[in-house]
Structure 1
Amino acid sequence: MSIDPSSIPNFGAQPQPQAAGPAGPVVPDQDLVKQLLEQMELKYVVDDEGDLAAPWEDFRTYFMFRGEAEQQVFSVRTFYDRPHPAEDRIKIMEMVDDWNRRTLWPKVYTHLHEDEQGGATVRLIGEAQMLIGTGVSLEHFVSSTVSWVRASIEFDKWMAEQLGLETGEGDENPGEEA
């Protein structure tokens, strides 16, 4: 199966046209996600657990398949690397709650990260999921995945603005790691 490039928002140069995908439902797999990431001109790696990850400077977005057969779930999960002081957790949770109320995705939650020295910081994780085991429309899968990636980028920018942090002008180039 292949992805119709006209269905993918442009992150950079225009992808080369390919044949349209299947008319009926498909069960997406890692190869389909790799193809989509390549057409979006996003760099990616496969981690030790076999999951695809697209690294940015301040976060990593993983594309994961979990579950069996008809219960299989496709998850796009973003781990934001910016640490927040543990004592700011309530303030961070209030910001995240505001985001979650106003947007569809990613739904973001906090994680208390403890280091070897006994200190703790708050980290943020964003996630969107789709049940794919019985098949989905290829157009729906592509548009949802692209939207989730864009929303993950937007959340990072939004959070930086909420915290009064500077954002680099190079943020428009997703998948480019320093």
Structure 2
Amino acid sequence: MTIDPSSIPNFGGQPEPQPQGPAGPVVPDQDLVKQLLDQMELKYVVDDEGDLAAPWEQFRTYFMFRGEGDQQIFSVRTFYDRPHQIDEKPQLLESVDDWNRRTLWPKVYTHTHDDGTVRLIGEAQMLIGMGVSLEHFVSSTVSWVRAAIEFDKWLVEQLGLEQEINEADKPEDDE
């Protein structure tokens, strides 16, 4: 099974063409996801556990298959790398709750590391073991990637991190 390149939604807000593929349900696999990422012009790597990961500057998105048979699940999980202090967790939880109420995906939660830093994880899942339409798989995966990017932008705005990011991007003055 292949994905028609004209069917891949772009990130520019133009109408999304429909995928051309099998008429019946397909069981997506890692090769199909690689094709989709290639056509979206997203770089990716395969990690030590065999999962696909697309890295961005402040986060990485994993495309994982779990389970067997008709219980197989496709999961898109984003690990946001920006560390937050433990005393910021109540504000983070308020922001994450607001996001989760307002949006369908990714559902975002916190993870507190042993060193006391808090990081965020976003996740969306689809049951694929019985097969899904290619159109549904492609449009969902693209939407989930877009939403992962949008969440990071939204959180920066919510927490007022723009100044912190701008200062990190400034070249240091030689005095």
Deviation of 1:166 (Å): 1.8
Alpha-carbon distance in 1 for matches of 2:145, 2:45: 16
Per-residue deviation, 1:4: 2.3
User: Match of 1:16?
Assistant: none
Q: Look up the match of 2:145.
A: 149
In the alignment, what sits opposite 2:67? 67
- 3-state SS of 1:81 partner: strand
Contact 1:76 1:128 in 2 (8 A): yes
Give the corresponding residue for 1:4. 4
Q: Deviations over 1:98-120 (max 9, x none)?
A: 000000000000000123xxxx1
Report the 3-state secondary structure (helix = DSSP H, G, I; strand = E; otherwise coil) of the residue aligned with 1:6: helix
**Coordinate RMSD, CA, aligned:** 1.7
Alignment of 1:23-34 (within 5 A): 23-34=23-34
The letter for the 2-side match of 1:138 is L
- Which structure has the higher relative contact order (CA within 8 Å, separation 6+)? 1
CA offset digits 1:50-77 (Å, max 9, x no partner): 0000000000000000000000000000
Matches of residues 1-178 of structure 1 in structure 2 within 5 Å? 1-11=1-11, 20-115=20-115, 120-166=116-162
**Are the aligned partners of 2:43 and 2:54 in contact in 1 as well (CA < 8 Å)?**
yes
**For 2:161, what is the secondary structure of its paired residue?**
coil
SS at match of 2:162: coil
Amino acid at match of 2:151: F
Q: How far apart are 1:23 and its partner, in Å? A: 1.0
Counterpart contact for 2:11–2:146, Cα < 8 Å? no
Unaligned runs of 5+ in 2: 13-18, 167-175
Aligned pairs, number: 159
Q: Which amino acid aligns with 1:71?
A: Q
Q: Give yes or no for contact 2:110–2:118 (8 Å, CA) kept in 1.
A: yes
Q: Measure the CA separation in 1 of the matches of 2:23 and 2:107.
A: 31
TM-score (norm 1): 0.85
Counting aligned pairs with the same residue, the percent is 82
Counterpart amino acid of residue 145 in structure 2:
V
- State the structure with more CA Rg: 2
1:7·1:143 contact (CA, 8 Å) conserved in 2? no
Could you tell me which runs of 5 or more consecutive residues in structure 1 were left unpaired when the two chains were aligned.
Answer: 13-18, 170-178
Moved segments of 4+, more than 6 Å:
none
